[in-house]
Chain A
Amino acid sequence: MSKKQVILGAQFPGVNNFTVWSDPQAGSQIAFSSFRRFAETVERGKFDFIFLAEGLRLREQKGRFHELDVAGRPNTLAVLTALASVTRNVGLIGTLTTTFNEPYPLARQLATLDVLSEGRSGWNVVTSPGAFTGANFRRGDHLPFAQRYERAREFIETARKVWAGGAFEAHTRHFDLSGKNAVGPLPQGAPVIAQAGDSDEGRELAASHADLIYSRHGTLEEGQAFYADVKGRLARYGRSPDSLKILPGANFVLGDTQEEAQANHRAIRLQQVSPKSAIVFLEQVWNRDLSAYDPDGPLPEVEPDVEAQLAQGRATRYDQRLETAKAWRQLAERDGLSIRDLIIRVTERKQFIGTPQSVAQEIDRHVQENAADGFVFAPHLTPGGFDVFVEKVVPILQERGVLRRDYEAGSLRANLGLAA
């Protein structure tokens, strides 16, 4: 039996502290030349798709704009459509919210991308925090929190009607609309639907409506448990296990030797968590101004303020501040960590760190042992973050017979091994 193929997604490094801007090799986050170079590199590496995250309001903290990390991005659909013009095979997946879009305009835009890319479009379906992001949109905070997945489901179902082409209508709890669309039927039937999020509701939405699930990368065992859980939900919807691909978001650090890779990793972590960033992270848990503290010194003796909400526009919320602070204190004490070293430790994600050979082997192992169907990798540098990966890891995956040597199918759906 032929080996299970590894699916590779490439996330454009974006608005978070993982993207290193202080490195001399870090390029523009907004010039089209950066996006083009990034896309051309991963297409040379025979990746399945490029993946863009979304953020519809600039991050703020303590009532001020967050200044320490990369910020600013193009309009997702616009830059993906421009990339469709300069690439031939790589898929183009954008994260787009169902909260601050309406089904007909968004479905028509995705249809436009699908036609102009000849069937390479994808949509990572997300919901957005109401009041914070809503401040930038006509309808404002229009959606009760509990209804956001319901709206997302109805949104996808309505979008599918638009993609079919011709007359469409929807009369549901969230939508009351009708019209006619001349763009559909689409080259690949419908954009590839991705769903992000590990919550129970998110998993269920993926099982009922999605082609891909973008999940968290953990240990092999955690991956296997998640994989079994999500794939196990598919039968209920009359779907086969192959019809939903599980792709954790992951990072990698390479070196010619294992030691060099570890040293590179340490250097990158120091760039990612600058002294000031460490204090800001700590402030998110402590919920108070800690700017007077020394990042290279011990944790503050003062306890977190459990009253007000401090950080906005962040995916992570710390509801159990006192417990987190207690755990961090114990860890810092045990290992003798400064504030910065502690933050480097607690914000560490599970990564592939090693030689091209060992990283390729580990990626393959996660896929063959059903902890994943592939990965969405995010490099730490724009735009050259995949250069070494494509030069050194990709040929090994090809050698192992788990990655295409050239694109065979036309559409993203077909490249991913999904039925039309």
Chain B
Amino acid sequence: MPEIGKTDMSNIKPLILGVALDAGAITYGPAEGWRDRWSTLFATLDGVAEFATIEDGFARTSGDGPDATLLANWLAPRAPRIGLIADAALNFAEPFHVSTAIATLDYVSEGRAGLLAQRLRGERVSEAIAAIGALDGFPRADDEALDQDGTDAIEVIRRLWDSWEDDAVIRDPETQRYLDGGKLHYVDFRSDSFKILGPSITPRPPQGQPVVAAHWAKGTDSSLALAADLVIVRVEDIAAFRALPGATGKLVIAEIDDTDNLFAAARAAVVAGAGALRIALSGSLEQAARFASDIAPSLRAAGLVRPSAEGPLRQRFGLPATPNRYATAA
């Protein structure tokens, strides 16, 4: 890893700091303790990390834990600053339900919602299929089908978020209409495996398009990552991701699991062109307290991480505003 001196760093844009939490991790103990633990954890992290990804343990037989999107909805009113990127195993969920649940998170959090589009692999795939049953409209267990279905699901979810124009609710006493039906749109998505008509039942969320994140690792299919706004990549794979056609404009989140070499890894992430840093936390309260009192302030003092920003999550990540794809000219 090249050594970067302080002078070099001063010209570089500091990273957005986030954390990764696994909702199904064993650390959380039995369910009766979850409420207090999650509450304390987010009281500690709110305002320190700019965002948290909450991994979902869907059908994981070693511990599935709570539904991550619902947990995020529960956390949103009690943690007023942190961005909440909730994970969903898209291949085994109904895109319609995922789209309304994330849109609702965006309403509850007033613009801090994101979706982590999860592509299960290996044993997790067979566990998920066993838990829902092998059903028509859901993908087969092979990589190609799962990759295709995942990008299809993201496309549908994004279309559903746009299916109401921002000014669809008119409450017009003159015409006695609550809605302007011309501002609602069928998404009419059709693929080989499923069809979704729309529009959503939930009006367009505050951010228009909540942020969509996905993982990418060298040697895997890139379609899901290229359909996302934020791509979570291990530091050593960032250069390979950047070289992919279509990677331009994606914000890279450098994934760091090992906090021992944190500073070196953060420097390498900055140099490789990452925009954010995501540090995996175990869910231990002691570790979270150390993160808030020690790790995050030192990263900021070293100029590697920027001060916490507030406001809509898209804006914090510097993502462009998204015009509604269905909007009719005014």
Chain A residues with a Cβ under 8 A of chain B:
21-22, 26, 29-32, 36, 55-58, 64-75, 77-79, 81-82, 84-86, 100-102, 104-105, 108-109, 111-113, 115-116, 118, 135-140, 142, 175-184, 186-187, 274-277
Contacts and interface: CB of A to CB of B under 8 A. Distances in A.
A177 B130 contact: yes
Given A84-B74, A102-B132, A118-B35, A72 B176 contact: no
B114 interface: no
A182 B74 contact: no
Contacts of A56: 96, 201
A77 B70 contact: yes
B240 interface: no
Contacts of B294: none
Given A21-B171, A85-B74, A116-B70, 17 more contacts: A36-B77, A55-B201, A65-B179, A74-B100, A74-B104, A74-B202, A78-B73, A102-B132, A104-B131, A105-B93, A112-B70, A118-B35, A137-B94, A138-B94, A175-B133, A179-B130, A182-B57
27 contacts: A31-B107, A55-B201, A56-B96, A56-B201, A57-B197, A58-B201, A67-B180, A70-B178, A71-B179, A72-B164, A72-B179, A72-B202, A72-B203, A74-B107, A78-B69, A85-B75, A100-B94, A102-B135, A111-B66, A116-B71, A116-B74, A137-B137, A138-B95, A140-B136, A179-B64, A179-B131, A180-B64
A150 to B, nearest CB: 16
Interface in B120-136: 127, 130-136
A387 to B, nearest CB: 21
Contacts of B135: 102, 138-139
A113 B67 CA distance: 9
Given A73-B202, A85-B77, A139 B31 contact: no
B197 to A, nearest CB: 4
A74 B101 CA distance: 7
Interface string B73-95: 11111100000000000001111
A78 B108 CA distance: 9
Binding site of A, secondary structure by majority: helix, strand, loop or mixed?
A: loop
B76 A67 contact: no
A182 B32 CA distance: 11
Given A72-B201, A275-B176, A102 B97 contact: no
Contacts of B31: 111, 115, 182-184, 186-187
Contact of B196 (A26, A118, A137): A137
Contact of A58 (B101, B127, B199): B199
Contact of A182 (B65, B95, B96): B65
B198 interface: yes
Given A72-B203, A109-B70, A142 B178 contact: no
A182 B173 CA distance: 52
B61 interface: yes
Interface of B: 24, 31-32, 34-35, 57-59, 61, 63-67, 69-71, 73-78, 92-97, 100-101, 103-105, 107-108, 110, 127, 130-138, 164, 168-169, 171, 173, 175-181, 184, 193-199, 201-203
Contact of A21 (B35, B61, B127, B178): B178
Contacts of A178: 130-131
Nearest to B69: A78
A127 B137 CA distance: 19
B176 A115 contact: no
Contacts of B64: 108, 179-183
A113 B70 contact: yes
A109 B101 CA distance: 11
A116 to B, nearest CB: 5
B202 A64 contact: no
A22 B179 CA distance: 12
A274 B176 contact: yes
B289 to A, nearest CB: 22
A86 B78 CA distance: 8
Contacts of B164: 72
Contacts of B108: 32, 78-79, 82
B203 A30 contact: yes
Nearest to B26: A182
B66 A116 contact: yes
Contact of B181 (A64, A78, A182): A64
Contact of A115 (B35, B78, B105, B138): B35
Contact of A136 (B59, B101, B198): B198
A142 B136 contact: yes
B59 A179 contact: yes
A113 B203 CA distance: 23
A70 B179 CA distance: 8
A135 B190 CA distance: 11
B106 to A, nearest CB: 10
Nearest to A96: B97
Contacts of B78: 85
A55 to B, nearest CB: 6
Contacts of A182: 24, 31, 57, 63-65
A382 B142 CA distance: 48
A75 B66 contact: no
Contacts of A55: 201
A86 B164 CA distance: 28
Contact of B132 (A21, A70, A85, A177): A177
Contact of A69 (B32, B132, B178): B178
A102 B59 contact: no
A113 B64 CA distance: 15
A34 B312 CA distance: 20
- 9 A-B pairs with the lowest CB-CB distances in the bound complex, closest first: A138-B137, A179-B131, A65-B181, A78-B104, A75-B100, A135-B197, A112-B66, A74-B104, A81-B70
